[in-house]
Amino acid sequence: MNLSIGIVGLPNVGKSTLFNALLKKQIANVANYPFCTIEPNVGVVEVPDDRLPVLAKIVNTEKIVPAVVEFYDIAGLVRGASQGEGLGNKFLSHIREVAAIVHVVRLFADGNVAHVSSKIDPQTDIQTVETELILADLETITKSKIKDQRSKLQSKDQKEISDLVDKIGKGLNKGIPARHINLTDEEKVIVKQLNLLTIKPVIYAFNVSDDQLNQPEETKKKIKQTTSLYLNAKLENEVLALSPTEQKTYLNQYQLTDTGLNRLIQKSYSVLDLISFLTAGVKEVRAWTIKRGMLAPQAAGVIHSDFEKHFIKADVIPFPQFVEVNGWLKARELGKVQSVGRDYVIKDGEVVEFKIGAT
Protein backbone atom coordinates (compact mmCIF):
# COMPACT_ATOMS: atom_id res chain seq x y z
CA MET A 1 0.00 0.00 0.00
CA ASN A 2 1.69 3.20 -1.19
CA LEU A 3 0.79 6.47 0.46
CA SER A 4 0.18 9.25 -2.09
CA ILE A 5 0.16 12.90 -1.04
CA GLY A 6 -0.60 15.89 -3.26
CA ILE A 7 1.21 19.15 -2.49
CA VAL A 8 -1.04 22.09 -3.34
CA GLY A 9 -1.13 25.83 -2.77
CA LEU A 10 -1.32 29.24 -4.34
CA PRO A 11 1.63 30.51 -6.44
CA ASN A 12 4.74 31.75 -4.55
CA VAL A 13 3.94 30.05 -1.24
CA GLY A 14 7.06 27.82 -1.28
CA LYS A 15 5.37 24.72 -2.64
CA SER A 16 8.08 24.00 -5.23
CA THR A 17 10.84 24.72 -2.69
CA LEU A 18 9.33 22.11 -0.38
CA PHE A 19 9.00 19.62 -3.23
CA ASN A 20 12.62 20.22 -4.24
CA ALA A 21 13.63 19.39 -0.67
CA LEU A 22 11.70 16.14 -0.97
CA LEU A 23 13.52 15.34 -4.20
CA LYS A 24 16.88 16.07 -2.57
CA LYS A 25 15.94 13.71 0.25
CA GLN A 26 15.07 11.12 -2.36
CA ILE A 27 18.37 11.56 -4.21
CA ALA A 28 20.36 11.52 -0.97
CA ASN A 29 18.96 8.07 -0.18
CA VAL A 30 19.26 6.56 -3.64
CA ALA A 31 22.52 4.77 -2.75
CA ASN A 32 20.76 2.77 -0.04
CA TYR A 33 17.22 2.32 -1.36
CA PRO A 34 15.92 1.47 -4.85
CA PHE A 35 13.74 4.53 -5.36
CA CYS A 36 13.41 6.69 -8.41
CA THR A 37 11.40 9.60 -9.72
CA ILE A 38 8.39 8.28 -11.60
CA GLU A 39 7.75 11.61 -13.34
CA PRO A 40 9.27 15.09 -12.99
CA ASN A 41 6.43 16.04 -10.63
CA VAL A 42 6.49 12.89 -8.49
CA GLY A 43 8.98 12.10 -5.75
CA VAL A 44 9.11 8.80 -3.87
CA VAL A 45 10.52 9.22 -0.37
CA GLU A 46 11.03 6.61 2.34
CA VAL A 47 9.18 6.79 5.64
CA PRO A 48 11.68 7.41 8.45
CA ASP A 49 11.90 4.28 10.62
CA ASP A 50 14.82 3.78 13.00
CA ARG A 51 13.66 0.22 13.71
CA LEU A 52 14.70 -1.14 10.31
CA PRO A 53 18.51 -0.91 10.63
CA VAL A 54 18.23 -2.48 14.09
CA LEU A 55 16.31 -5.43 12.64
CA ALA A 56 18.74 -5.72 9.73
CA LYS A 57 21.66 -6.12 12.13
CA ILE A 58 19.83 -8.81 14.11
CA VAL A 59 18.87 -10.97 11.10
CA ASN A 60 22.14 -10.22 9.31
CA THR A 61 20.84 -8.71 6.09
CA GLU A 62 22.03 -5.69 4.14
CA LYS A 63 18.76 -5.16 2.29
CA ILE A 64 16.41 -2.65 3.93
CA VAL A 65 13.14 -1.67 2.26
CA PRO A 66 11.28 1.10 4.09
CA ALA A 67 7.67 2.05 3.50
CA VAL A 68 7.42 4.90 0.99
CA VAL A 69 5.39 8.02 0.34
CA GLU A 70 4.68 9.37 -3.13
CA PHE A 71 4.58 13.17 -3.17
CA TYR A 72 2.92 14.83 -6.15
CA ASP A 73 3.84 18.42 -6.93
CA ILE A 74 0.48 19.61 -8.25
CA ALA A 75 0.27 22.70 -10.46
CA GLY A 76 -0.26 25.96 -8.53
CA LEU A 77 -3.86 27.00 -8.00
CA VAL A 78 -5.37 30.36 -8.86
CA ARG A 79 -8.81 31.78 -8.24
CA GLY A 80 -11.19 30.35 -10.83
CA ALA A 81 -9.41 26.99 -11.15
CA SER A 82 -12.76 25.21 -10.88
CA GLN A 83 -13.75 27.05 -14.08
CA GLY A 84 -10.49 26.12 -15.81
CA GLU A 85 -8.41 29.20 -14.97
CA GLY A 86 -4.65 28.69 -15.08
CA LEU A 87 -3.91 24.97 -14.97
CA GLY A 88 -7.14 24.46 -13.07
CA ASN A 89 -8.45 21.34 -14.77
CA LYS A 90 -5.06 19.62 -14.62
CA PHE A 91 -4.65 20.69 -10.99
CA LEU A 92 -8.01 19.30 -9.96
CA SER A 93 -7.63 16.02 -11.86
CA HIS A 94 -4.30 15.35 -10.11
CA ILE A 95 -5.83 15.94 -6.69
CA ARG A 96 -8.39 13.22 -7.39
CA GLU A 97 -5.56 10.68 -7.63
CA VAL A 98 -4.03 11.24 -4.17
CA ALA A 99 -5.02 9.91 -0.74
CA ALA A 100 -4.45 13.17 1.12
CA ILE A 101 -3.56 16.80 0.49
CA VAL A 102 -0.73 18.87 1.91
CA HIS A 103 -1.81 22.48 1.53
CA VAL A 104 1.25 24.76 1.68
CA VAL A 105 0.31 28.15 3.12
CA ARG A 106 2.59 31.17 3.12
CA LEU A 107 3.23 32.73 6.50
CA PHE A 108 6.54 34.41 5.71
CA ALA A 109 6.90 37.97 4.43
CA ASP A 110 9.46 38.69 1.72
CA GLY A 111 9.43 41.79 -0.46
CA ASN A 112 11.39 39.92 -3.13
CA VAL A 113 8.71 37.24 -3.47
CA ALA A 114 5.39 38.60 -4.70
CA HIS A 115 2.15 37.41 -3.15
CA VAL A 116 -0.79 36.85 -5.50
CA SER A 117 -2.99 39.02 -3.26
CA SER A 118 -0.22 41.54 -2.48
CA LYS A 119 -0.52 40.78 1.26
CA ILE A 120 0.15 37.93 3.68
CA ASP A 121 -3.25 36.61 4.74
CA PRO A 122 -3.04 32.84 5.38
CA GLN A 123 -6.69 32.33 6.28
CA THR A 124 -7.89 34.04 3.09
CA ASP A 125 -5.40 31.99 1.06
CA ILE A 126 -6.71 28.80 2.63
CA GLN A 127 -10.29 29.82 1.86
CA THR A 128 -9.41 30.56 -1.78
CA VAL A 129 -8.15 27.02 -2.33
CA GLU A 130 -10.98 25.48 -0.31
CA THR A 131 -13.59 27.41 -2.31
CA GLU A 132 -12.21 26.16 -5.62
CA LEU A 133 -12.33 22.57 -4.39
CA ILE A 134 -15.88 23.01 -3.12
CA LEU A 135 -16.97 24.50 -6.46
CA ALA A 136 -15.40 21.57 -8.30
CA ASP A 137 -17.26 19.14 -6.02
CA LEU A 138 -20.53 20.96 -6.60
CA GLU A 139 -20.01 20.44 -10.32
CA THR A 140 -19.46 16.71 -9.66
CA ILE A 141 -22.65 16.65 -7.57
CA THR A 142 -24.63 18.38 -10.33
CA LYS A 143 -23.45 15.87 -12.95
CA SER A 144 -24.44 13.03 -10.62
CA LYS A 145 -27.94 14.48 -10.23
CA ILE A 146 -28.37 14.87 -13.98
CA LYS A 147 -27.36 11.24 -14.44
CA ASP A 148 -29.95 10.18 -11.84
CA GLN A 149 -32.67 12.23 -13.53
CA ARG A 150 -32.00 10.51 -16.85
CA SER A 151 -32.51 7.13 -15.21
CA LYS A 152 -36.23 6.44 -14.84
CA LEU A 153 -35.74 3.43 -12.58
CA GLN A 154 -33.48 3.60 -9.53
CA SER A 155 -32.10 0.61 -7.68
CA LYS A 156 -31.79 0.68 -3.90
CA ASP A 157 -28.07 1.52 -4.25
CA GLN A 158 -28.79 4.35 -6.68
CA LYS A 159 -31.40 5.76 -4.30
CA GLU A 160 -28.86 5.73 -1.44
CA ILE A 161 -26.32 7.53 -3.60
CA SER A 162 -28.93 10.07 -4.71
CA ASP A 163 -29.93 10.84 -1.11
CA LEU A 164 -26.28 11.16 -0.12
CA VAL A 165 -25.61 13.49 -3.05
CA ASP A 166 -28.42 15.78 -1.84
CA LYS A 167 -27.04 15.72 1.71
CA ILE A 168 -23.49 16.58 0.62
CA GLY A 169 -24.70 19.18 -1.87
CA LYS A 170 -26.50 21.08 0.89
CA GLY A 171 -23.32 21.14 2.95
CA LEU A 172 -21.14 22.22 0.04
CA ASN A 173 -23.53 25.06 -0.80
CA LYS A 174 -23.02 26.31 2.76
CA GLY A 175 -19.25 26.26 2.23
CA ILE A 176 -18.71 23.06 4.24
CA PRO A 177 -16.12 20.63 2.77
CA ALA A 178 -17.38 17.06 2.42
CA ARG A 179 -14.90 15.81 5.05
CA HIS A 180 -16.62 18.02 7.65
CA ILE A 181 -20.15 16.82 6.84
CA ASN A 182 -21.47 14.33 9.39
CA LEU A 183 -21.61 11.00 7.54
CA THR A 184 -22.43 7.52 8.78
CA ASP A 185 -19.92 4.70 8.25
CA GLU A 186 -22.14 3.37 5.46
CA GLU A 187 -22.29 6.81 3.80
CA LYS A 188 -18.50 7.10 3.98
CA VAL A 189 -18.23 3.92 1.94
CA ILE A 190 -20.82 5.10 -0.61
CA VAL A 191 -19.26 8.56 -1.00
CA LYS A 192 -16.04 7.05 -2.35
CA GLN A 193 -17.90 6.43 -5.61
CA LEU A 194 -18.24 10.21 -6.10
CA ASN A 195 -14.46 10.79 -5.90
CA LEU A 196 -14.92 14.19 -4.25
CA LEU A 197 -11.96 16.52 -3.70
CA THR A 198 -13.06 17.93 -0.34
CA ILE A 199 -13.53 14.48 1.20
CA LYS A 200 -9.74 14.02 1.28
CA PRO A 201 -7.85 14.71 4.54
CA VAL A 202 -5.86 17.96 4.51
CA ILE A 203 -2.63 18.83 6.30
CA TYR A 204 -1.79 22.52 6.38
CA ALA A 205 1.96 23.12 6.06
CA PHE A 206 2.71 26.72 6.98
CA ASN A 207 5.89 27.99 5.34
CA VAL A 208 7.57 30.34 7.82
CA SER A 209 10.62 32.62 7.89
CA ASP A 210 13.76 32.08 9.98
CA ASP A 211 12.52 34.63 12.51
CA GLN A 212 9.12 32.93 12.77
CA LEU A 213 10.86 29.59 13.24
CA ASN A 214 12.77 31.13 16.15
CA GLN A 215 9.52 32.34 17.75
CA PRO A 216 7.41 29.16 17.92
CA GLU A 217 4.81 30.45 20.37
CA GLU A 218 4.10 33.58 18.34
CA THR A 219 4.01 31.56 15.15
CA LYS A 220 1.55 29.02 16.59
CA LYS A 221 -0.85 31.85 17.46
CA LYS A 222 -1.16 32.67 13.75
CA ILE A 223 -2.15 29.10 12.89
CA LYS A 224 -5.81 28.24 13.48
CA GLN A 225 -5.94 24.87 11.72
CA THR A 226 -5.75 21.79 13.97
CA THR A 227 -4.19 19.35 11.48
CA SER A 228 -1.13 21.41 10.69
CA LEU A 229 2.57 21.91 11.11
CA TYR A 230 4.98 24.70 10.30
CA LEU A 231 8.33 24.51 8.58
CA ASN A 232 10.82 26.58 6.66
CA ALA A 233 11.00 25.17 3.13
CA LYS A 234 14.33 26.90 2.47
CA LEU A 235 15.81 25.43 5.65
CA GLU A 236 14.62 21.96 4.63
CA ASN A 237 16.78 22.22 1.50
CA GLU A 238 19.81 23.35 3.48
CA VAL A 239 19.65 20.76 6.26
CA LEU A 240 19.70 17.80 3.86
CA ALA A 241 23.27 18.67 2.84
CA LEU A 242 24.45 18.06 6.43
CA SER A 243 25.45 14.84 8.19
CA PRO A 244 22.95 13.38 10.71
CA THR A 245 24.95 14.81 13.62
CA GLU A 246 25.16 18.25 11.97
CA GLN A 247 21.44 18.11 11.20
CA LYS A 248 20.60 17.62 14.88
CA THR A 249 22.83 20.54 15.88
CA TYR A 250 21.32 22.75 13.17
CA LEU A 251 17.75 21.86 14.12
CA ASN A 252 18.46 22.44 17.82
CA GLN A 253 19.08 26.10 17.00
CA TYR A 254 15.38 26.31 16.13
CA GLN A 255 14.19 24.09 19.00
CA LEU A 256 13.27 21.35 16.51
CA THR A 257 13.78 17.63 17.13
CA ASP A 258 13.21 16.52 13.54
CA THR A 259 13.09 17.92 10.03
CA GLY A 260 9.85 19.32 8.67
CA LEU A 261 9.86 16.65 5.96
CA ASN A 262 9.92 13.81 8.49
CA ARG A 263 7.23 15.52 10.56
CA LEU A 264 5.14 15.91 7.40
CA ILE A 265 5.40 12.19 6.62
CA GLN A 266 4.48 11.26 10.20
CA LYS A 267 1.52 13.65 10.14
CA SER A 268 0.38 12.11 6.84
CA TYR A 269 0.37 8.66 8.42
CA SER A 270 -1.64 10.01 11.33
CA VAL A 271 -4.41 11.74 9.32
CA LEU A 272 -4.85 8.65 7.12
CA ASP A 273 -4.84 6.35 10.17
CA LEU A 274 -1.97 4.25 8.84
CA ILE A 275 0.55 2.09 10.68
CA SER A 276 3.52 -0.07 9.71
CA PHE A 277 4.22 -3.70 10.51
CA LEU A 278 7.68 -5.17 9.96
CA THR A 279 9.09 -8.31 8.39
CA ALA A 280 12.63 -9.47 9.16
CA GLY A 281 14.49 -12.24 7.37
CA VAL A 282 17.83 -12.98 5.76
CA LYS A 283 16.59 -11.78 2.36
CA GLU A 284 15.40 -8.39 3.59
CA VAL A 285 14.01 -6.26 6.38
CA ARG A 286 10.93 -4.33 5.35
CA ALA A 287 8.19 -2.00 6.61
CA TRP A 288 4.66 -2.46 5.23
CA THR A 289 1.98 0.21 5.34
CA ILE A 290 -1.55 -0.81 6.36
CA LYS A 291 -4.71 0.77 7.71
CA ARG A 292 -5.00 0.72 11.49
CA GLY A 293 -7.33 -2.09 12.54
CA MET A 294 -6.46 -4.37 9.62
CA LEU A 295 -6.75 -8.09 10.29
CA ALA A 296 -3.83 -10.46 9.82
CA PRO A 297 -5.03 -12.02 6.51
CA GLN A 298 -5.57 -8.56 4.99
CA ALA A 299 -2.10 -7.49 6.13
CA ALA A 300 -0.67 -10.61 4.49
CA GLY A 301 -2.49 -9.59 1.30
CA VAL A 302 -0.50 -6.33 1.26
CA ILE A 303 2.64 -8.41 0.72
CA HIS A 304 1.01 -10.51 -2.02
CA SER A 305 -2.64 -10.77 -3.03
CA ASP A 306 -2.54 -14.59 -2.87
CA PHE A 307 -1.37 -14.50 0.75
CA GLU A 308 -4.75 -13.33 2.03
CA LYS A 309 -6.56 -16.15 0.25
CA HIS A 310 -4.16 -18.85 1.47
CA PHE A 311 -3.50 -17.41 4.95
CA ILE A 312 -3.03 -20.02 7.70
CA LYS A 313 -1.67 -18.06 10.65
CA ALA A 314 0.84 -15.37 11.61
CA ASP A 315 3.64 -15.31 14.15
CA VAL A 316 3.88 -11.88 15.77
CA ILE A 317 6.11 -10.23 18.33
CA PRO A 318 6.45 -6.56 19.37
CA PHE A 319 9.59 -4.90 18.03
CA PRO A 320 11.13 -4.18 21.52
CA GLN A 321 10.81 -7.85 22.53
CA PHE A 322 12.26 -9.02 19.21
CA VAL A 323 15.29 -6.80 19.79
CA GLU A 324 15.59 -7.82 23.44
CA VAL A 325 15.87 -11.54 22.59
CA ASN A 326 17.93 -10.89 19.46
CA GLY A 327 15.75 -12.52 16.82
CA TRP A 328 13.25 -15.22 15.94
CA LEU A 329 15.16 -18.25 17.28
CA LYS A 330 15.48 -17.06 20.87
CA ALA A 331 12.03 -15.48 20.76
CA ARG A 332 10.47 -18.85 19.97
CA GLU A 333 12.60 -20.67 22.55
CA LEU A 334 11.42 -18.26 25.25
CA GLY A 335 7.79 -18.36 24.16
CA LYS A 336 7.74 -14.67 23.20
CA VAL A 337 6.16 -15.29 19.79
CA GLN A 338 2.37 -15.30 19.55
CA SER A 339 0.73 -17.41 16.84
CA VAL A 340 -2.49 -15.71 15.74
CA GLY A 341 -5.37 -16.47 13.40
CA ARG A 342 -7.71 -14.70 11.02
CA ASP A 343 -9.36 -12.47 13.61
CA TYR A 344 -6.13 -10.93 14.92
CA VAL A 345 -5.62 -7.19 14.46
CA ILE A 346 -2.06 -6.31 13.45
CA LYS A 347 -0.52 -3.57 15.60
CA ASP A 348 1.99 -0.87 14.74
CA GLY A 349 5.60 -1.98 14.97
CA GLU A 350 4.93 -5.69 15.28
CA VAL A 351 7.44 -8.00 13.61
CA VAL A 352 5.37 -10.52 11.66
CA GLU A 353 5.99 -13.81 9.87
CA PHE A 354 3.05 -15.17 7.89
CA LYS A 355 2.34 -18.85 7.36
CA ILE A 356 0.77 -19.35 3.94
CA GLY A 357 -0.74 -22.51 2.43
CA ALA A 358 -0.05 -23.83 -1.04
CA THR A 359 -1.04 -21.38 -3.78
Q: Is 17 annotated as a binding residue?
A: yes
Measured at the CA of 50, the angle between CA 302 and CA 257, to 5 degrees, comes to 125
Query: SS3 string of the chain?
Result: CCEEEEEECCCCCCHHHHHHHHHHHHHHCCCCCCCCCCCCCEEEEECCCCHHHHHHHHHCCCCEECCEEEEEECCCCCCCHHHCCCCHHHHHHHHCCCCEEEEEEECCCCCCCCCCCCCCCHHHHHHHHHHHHHHHHHHHHHHHHHHHHHCCCCCHHHHHHHHHHHHHHHHHHCCCCHHHCCCCHHHHHHHHHHCCCCCCCEEEEEECCHHHHCCHHHHHHCCCCCCEEEECHHHHHHHCCCCHHHHHHHHHCCCCCCCHHHHHHHHHHHHCCEEEEEEECCCCEEEEEEECCCEHHHHHHHHCHHHHHCEEEEEEEEHHHHHHCCCHHHHHHCCCCEEECCCCECCCCEEEEEEECCC
Q: Is 267 annotated as a binding residue?
A: no
CA 291, chain centre distance (Å): 12
Q: Is 301 annotated as a binding residue?
A: no
* Residue 232 φ then ψ, to 5°: -115, 105
Q: Is 14 annotated as a binding residue?
A: yes
Task: Point out the annotated binding site.
Answer: 12-17
Q: What residues form the annotated binding site for ATP?
A: 12-17
